[in-house]
C-alpha cells in the first residue's frame, strides 16, 4: 500500500487531458464506459479470451504453489524447488519481452495458441520422463519463457478489437478470469493431493486446459470493431 501511495504523485503528469472530440475518436464523442463494457460482453472473442486466461491462471498458480511439494514427494530436495522457481522467474523476463515483440509483428491469437500448446507439451514431457535436476531445470526454463508471455498478447488483442480508451477496464475483466483460474489451480491442487496423495490428476487437468485454451483462441475474431459514426446532437 505504501509503494502504491508513493506512485500517485508520479502519475499526476500523465492524467488524461484528451478532449472529448479528437482525432483518436474519429471526431466523434467517445463511447461511455458502460456502453464499452456491454459491447465487450456481447463479443464472443472477449469470452474466449476470458476462458483462455482462466486456463493460464490455473496452470501458473498450480505450478508456482505446488511444484516444490511435487518435487519433495518425488524425493528431491527443497533447494531444487526453490532453484526451479528462480529459473522460472528469470526466464519469464525474457519470454514476456520476446512475446510482446512478436505480438507486434505476428497474429497474436495464434501466438497465444502456440504458448498454450507449448506449455502442455512441456508439462507432458516433464511428468512422463524420468525426473532429475537436469529435466527439472529444463522444464523450469521452458515454462518460465512461456510464463507471462500471454499477458502482452492478450491485452494486445483486447486493445486491437475494442480500442485503447477503456483497455484497463476491459483487460481487468479478462484478468479476473485469470485470477479465478489461479484460485482453482491452487485450491484444487491441494484438494486432489489430499484425496489421492498424488498430483497426477491435476497435471492432467492442467494439460487438458492448455489444449482447450489453444483451441479457444484459434477462432477469435480479432478484427477491430467497426462502430457507426455517432450523429451530432441537434441544437
> Domain spans of the chain?
58-217
Closest CA to 86 of 23, 31, 136: 136
Contact present, 78 and 228 (Cβ < 8 Å): no
User: Within 13 A of 75's CA, how many CA atoms are on the CB side?
Assistant: 3
pLDDT at 163: 86
pLDDT tens sequence for the chain (235 residues): 777 777 778 777 766 555 444 444 444 457 788 888 888 898 888 999 999 999 999 999 999 999 999 999 999 999 999 999 999 999 999 999 999 999 999 999 999 999 999 999 999 999 999 999 999 999 999 999 999 999 999 999 999 998 888 888 999 999 999 999 999 999 999 999 999 999 999 999 999 999 999 999 999 988 887 765 555 545 4
Closest CA to 95 of 141, 149, 139: 149
pLDDT at 22: 42
Distances (CA, A) of 132 to 17, 41, 59, 75, 200: 56, 46, 21, 10, 18
pLDDT at 177: 92
CATH superfamily of 58-217: MFS general substrate transporter like domains (1.20.1250.20)
Closest CA to 112 of 205, 206, 220: 220
Amino acid at each position: 500500500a505504501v509503494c502504491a501511495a508513493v506512485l500517485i504523485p508520479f502519475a499526476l503528469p500523465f492524467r488524461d487531458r484528451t478532449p472529448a472530440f479528437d482525432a483518436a475518436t474519429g471526431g466523434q464523442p467517445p463511447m461511455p464506459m458502460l456502453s464499452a463494457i456491454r459491447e465487450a460482453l456481447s463479443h464472443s472473442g472477449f469470452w474466449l479470451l476470458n476462458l483462455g486466461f482462466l486456463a493460464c491462471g490455473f496452470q501458473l498458480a498450480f505450478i508456482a504453489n505446488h511444484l516444490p511439494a511435487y518435487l519433495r514427494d518425488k524425493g528431491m530436495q527443497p533447494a531444487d524447488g526453490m532453484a526451479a522457481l528462480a529459473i522460472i522467474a528469470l526466464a519469464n523476463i525474457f519470454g514476456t519481452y520476446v512475446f510482446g515483440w512478436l505480438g507486434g509483428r505476428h497474429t497474436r491469437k495464434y501466438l497465444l495458441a502456440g504458448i498454450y500448446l507449448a506449455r502442455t507439451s512441456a508439462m507432458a514431457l516433464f511428468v512422463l520422463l524420468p525426473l532429475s535436476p537436469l529435466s527439472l531445470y529444463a522444464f523450469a526454463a521452458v515454462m518460465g519463457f512461456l510464463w507471462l508471455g500471454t499477458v502482452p498478447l492478450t491485452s494486445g488483442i483486447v486493445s486491437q478489437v475494442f480500442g485503447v480508451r477503456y483497455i484497463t477496464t476491459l483487460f481487468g475483466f479478462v484478468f479476473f478470469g485469470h485470477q479465478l483460474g489461479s484460485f482453482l489451480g491452487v485450491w484444487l491442487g491441494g484438494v486432489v493431493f489430499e484425496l489421492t496423495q498424488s498430483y497426477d490428476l491435476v497435471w492432467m487437468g492442467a494439460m487438458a486446459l492448455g489444449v482447450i485454451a489453444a483451441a479457444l483462441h484459434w477462432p477469435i475474431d480479432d478484427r477491430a470493431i467497426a462502430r457507426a459514426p455517432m450523429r451530432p446532437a441537434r441544437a
